[in-house]
Amino acid sequence: MGGIVIFVTQLTVIPGQLEEATRMFKHPKIPANVVLHEFLGLLGKPDALAIFEAPDAVTAADFTVQFGRVADVTTSLALPIEEFKWTW
């Protein structure tokens, strides 16, 4: 992957970790080469959503790994809809 890549991370808080997760979500450690666009709390599952840019998947993982002790973490690559190659 070249250039900046957009990622979306879904976070579902582990039972008993809400207080710590809330603190962590409000004050995440953001690496210098990551740009956090949005960190949103959701009403329902998942509990939170982070939208950010990183130069590659390794850097994205470096950012999201911090949440693994308080939440189930799922990260997806996001592409502008114009870049999708539809197959049907």
User: pTM for this one?
Assistant: 0.88
pLDDT, tens digit, 9 for 90 and up, residues 40-68: 999 999 999 999 999 999 999 999 999 99
Residues 49, 40: Cα–Cα separation, whole Å: 5
Range of the domain at 12: 5-78
Q: Return the CATH number at 10.
A: 3.30.70.920
Residue 36: inside a domain, yes or no? yes
Residue 18: inside a domain, yes or no? yes
Residue 20: inside a domain, yes or no? yes
pLDDT, tens digit, 9 for 90 and up, residues 14-39: 999 999 999 999 999 999 999 999 99
